[in-house]
Amino acid sequence: MNTKDVNTADNGSAKPNIAFIGLGNMGAPMAENLLKAGYALSVYDLSEDATQRLQQAGARVADSPKAAASNAQVVISMLPAGKHVHSVYLGEDGTNGLLAELPQGTLVIDSSTIAAADARTVAEAASKLGIEFLDAPVSGGTGGAIAGSLTFIVGGSADAFATAEPILAVMGKNIFHAGEHGAGQVAKICNNMLLGILMAGTAEAINLGVKNGLDPKVLSDIMLQSSGRNWTLEVYNPYPQVMENVPSSNGYQGGFMSKLMQKDLNLALQTAQNTNVDTPMGAKAAELYEAHTVENGDRDFSSIMARHDSSVLS
């Protein structure tokens, strides 16, 4: 790694300067946790509110990704989609992006959820320039980002993973090396495809019970102690007021937006089609979320409950 301008933690150990690009619902709290851990951070985002929040927390605000990374040994990004990752790192013509400005030995960690093929394209370009690249998408939602308890699913070389692990450990509790470049993205979309299927199915089952006279909490408790038990019932119930501190009990605000679930389901379908893998349940979940996001794209993905009962949105 680069050794210039390395900051020093309270215990005397060297910490790399980090550039953080993308300060949305996930990126901002991730960056704040790095600041709390003593890392020197420069940040960039299109949102002035987001950058001001990080500036108040102690970060240096830059006016471009290149300016943010000008003195960094590690670059972390959390961007909405593959086209944004491509634009930041490769530029419009594939050669004038951020990678062209970084010195050899820089470590790039992209925590966006994008197609594995896009991650491999950026990784290949980085490798030619002597830059280490990791695709490191996350699971755990905004709550996990705030608490520093995210799961990181990492693709890339073992050496780069070993360098990144102590940095990722500041932002997450579970850190997996899934394999080579692109493996992190494949594992992430497999997980989110299953999550979309589970949420759609859980909402459907609760609706069936409610429409036949059952109390949604009683039914949820029964299923939690039965073979239908799953993560959505345990910590993210989609029916309002069954569980505290979840989006369904807050007008489906916060959490993981339905349009992002739709994006991840479409990524899973794209990967399945490219590799001739049959995913009928994933295809059905993608179909349901595509229809749902027409009017509810910014609501949490548990709002798929409204497909059965629109009154839950009121």
Mean pLDDT by 10 residues, the chain (314 residues): 42 81 95 98 96 96 96 96 95 89 97 95 97 96 92 98 98 98 97 97 98 98 98 96 95 92 96 95 98 97 96 90
Q: Rounded to an integer, what distance in angstroms lies between the CA atom of residue 193 and that of residue 286?
A: 9
Q: What is the pLDDT of residues 117-143, one digit of tens each?
A: 999 999 999 999 999 999 999 998 888
Entry pTM: 0.88
Q: Please give the backbone phi and psi of residue 52, each rounded to the nearest 5 degrees, phi first.
A: -65, -40
Encoded tokens for 158: 């073992």
E strand or H helix that includes residue 173: strand 172-179
Q: Name every residue whose Cβ is closer than 8 Å to that of residue 46 and which is 6 or more positions away in sequence.
A: none
Encoded tokens for 214: 């059952």
Active centre residues (catalytic):
188
Q: What is the pLDDT of residues 218-257, one digit of tens each?
A: 999 999 999 999 999 999 999 999 999 999 999 999 888 9
Please, where are the H alpha helices in the chain? 27-36, 48-57, 65-68, 82-90, 116-128, 141-147, 158-171, 183-211, 216-224, 231-235, 258-274, 280-296
